[in-house]
């Protein structure tokens, strides 16, 4: 899962349970969705970023459509348990899942995975994109990428960076950054952002890679310095941060994303109905603001455009993973 700042997530989780009315009228008979309770499968624990976002969106779906929405946290294996549950669900339009690219990319980073995202699911809409950030310890005394490159030349034994998760974008992006600047960077695994931030603050590791929102508060507190992010454009939550592309490294434009999926063989009219309702929810001002606060750059799409993006990104990610020599984990 793309990292989300937990201190931001917990208050928003409470807020999700008391979301004010976003849609003034319930249109239970005009949505085109089937009657019945909707199950939204989430592959990560309650209180985490995926869960908080899912509950905010689920409540807005309830308000807009009049349907009861039940959140089911199918936790484990970085979302693959929820993915398997979606694959095996009836394609009747009553089961959907909110899935990050971190789960989908495991098609290439795990030896086996219990579903194929391109054949076992049908996308309903893109929900938004998430960026990775590359940061350094404040003890280095550098404030820009150019200064960091100069520092690396003077400190050849400290070419490592901490990653919040091996086999994820926070791992691959750091390796790609090293290739782009001509100085190989060695990933060091951490169990999440908190211990990585502590080591960065103390100068025990020179650099780190993680989700933008995992690092923002710590940068503002002077505990680390974000040098660049992975988007083509600055993150909506932090427009002041430069992107690698803006610094002259366009190959470092790599985004994670969230997509809503239904089981394969869900009828086309139901897919179209879900697309219409989800896009309306995701583009509402209140929901969009809450998602941006959690670090998601809100963006919707047609089902066809979402499928095309998934196909394109999977091809690119496979090339990246193969190029850096990463071997799938069992």
46 vs 305: CA distance, rounded Å: 30
Q: What mean pLDDT is predicted for residues 283-309?
A: 94
The superfamily CATH assigns to domain 132-252 is Periplasmic binding protein-like II (3.40.190.10)
b/e string for 85-94 if b means 16 or more Cβ within 10 A? bbbebeeebb
- The helix (H) or strand (E) run that includes residue 212 is helix 212-220
State residue 76's pLDDT score.
82
Written as one string, the DSSP assignment of 44-96 is: S-TTSHHHHHHHHHHHHHHHHH---EEEEE--SGGGHHHHHHHHHS-SSSSEE
- pLDDT tens sequence across 196-223: 999 999 999 999 998 887 788 888 889 9
- Of the candidates 95, 114, 125, 34, the one whose C-alpha atom is nearest the C-alpha of residue 262 is 95
Confidence at 44, pLDDT banded by 50, 70, 90: confident
Could you please state the CATH topology (level 3) that the domain comprising 6-129+258-323 is classified under. D-Maltodextrin-Binding Protein; domain 2 (3.40.190)
159 vs 329: CA distance, rounded Å: 25
State residue 26's pLDDT score.
47
State residue 24's pLDDT score.
47
Q: What mean pLDDT is predicted for residues 72-86?
A: 92
The least confident of 2-16, 61-75, 106-120, 197-211 is 2-16
Confidence at 78, pLDDT banded by 50, 70, 90: confident
Q: What is the mean pLDDT of the chain?
A: 90
Residue bearing the bigger pLDDT, 228 or 11: 228
127 vs 115: CA distance, rounded Å: 21
- Of the candidates 212, 240, 200, the one whose C-alpha atom is nearest the C-alpha of residue 49 is 212
Identical fold for domains 6-129+258-323 and 132-252, yes or no, is yes
296 vs 314: CA distance, rounded Å: 20
CA separation, residue 194 to residues 4, 11, 61, 208, 264 (Å)? 11, 18, 33, 12, 38
327 vs 307: CA distance, rounded Å: 26
247 vs 120: CA distance, rounded Å: 39
Does position 28 have pLDDT exceeding 50, yes or no? Answer: no
Q: Where are the beta strands (DSSP E) in the chain?
A: 38-42, 69-73, 95-100, 121-130, 132-136, 160-163, 186-189, 207-211, 225-229, 256-263, 297-298
SS3 324: coil
State residue 6's pLDDT score.
46
96 vs 198: CA distance, rounded Å: 38
The residue ranges of every structural domain in the chain are: 6-129+258-323, 132-252
Residues in a beta bridge with 128: 258, 298
Residue bearing the bigger pLDDT, 149 or 27: 149
- Of the candidates 311, 330, 321, the one whose C-alpha atom is nearest the C-alpha of residue 121 is 311
Q: What mean pLDDT is predicted for residues 285-312?
A: 94
Confidence at 23, pLDDT banded by 50, 70, 90: low
């Amino acid at each position: 899962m793309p990292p989300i700042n937990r201190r931001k997530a917990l208050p928003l989780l409470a807020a999700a349970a008391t979301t004010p009315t976003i849609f003034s009228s319930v249109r239970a008979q005009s949505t085109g969705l089937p009657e019945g309770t909707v199950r939204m499968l989430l592959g990560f624990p309650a209180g985490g970023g995926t869960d908080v976002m899912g509950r905010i969106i689920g409540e807005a779906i309830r308000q807009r459509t009049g349907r009861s929405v039940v959140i089911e946290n199918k936790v484990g294996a970085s979302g693959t348990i929820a993915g398997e549950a979606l694959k095996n669900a009836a394609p009747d339009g009553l089961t959907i899942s909110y899935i990050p690219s971190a789960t989908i990319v495991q098609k290439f980073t795990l030896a086996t995975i219990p579903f194929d995202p391109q054949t076992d699911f049908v996308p309903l809409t893109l929900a938004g994109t998430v960026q990775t950030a590359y940061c350094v310890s404040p003890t280095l005394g550098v404030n820009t990428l150019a200064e960091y490159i100069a520092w690396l030349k003077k400190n050849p034994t400290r070419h490592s960076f901490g990653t919040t998760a091996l086999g994820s974008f926070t791992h691959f992006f750091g390796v790609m950054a090293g290739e782009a600047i001509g100085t190989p960077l060695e990933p060091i695994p951490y169990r999440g952002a908190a211990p990585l931030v502590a080591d960065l603050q103390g100068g025990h590791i020179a650099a780190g890679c993680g989700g933008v929102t995992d690092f923002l508060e710590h940068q503002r507190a002077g505990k680390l310095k974000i040098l660049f992010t992975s988007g083509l454009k600055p993150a909506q939550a932090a427009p002041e941060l430069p992107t690698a592309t803006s610094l002259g490294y366009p190959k470092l434009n790599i985004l994670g994303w969230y997509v809503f999926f239904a089981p394969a063989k869900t009828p086309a009219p139901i897919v179209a109905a879900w697309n219409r309702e989800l896009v309306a929810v995701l583009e509402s001002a209140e929901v969009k603001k809450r998602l941006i606060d959690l670090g998601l750059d809100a963006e919707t799409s047609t089902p066809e455009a979402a499928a095309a993006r998934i196909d394109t990104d999977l091809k690119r990610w496979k090339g990246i993973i193969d190029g850096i020599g990463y071997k799938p984990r069992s």
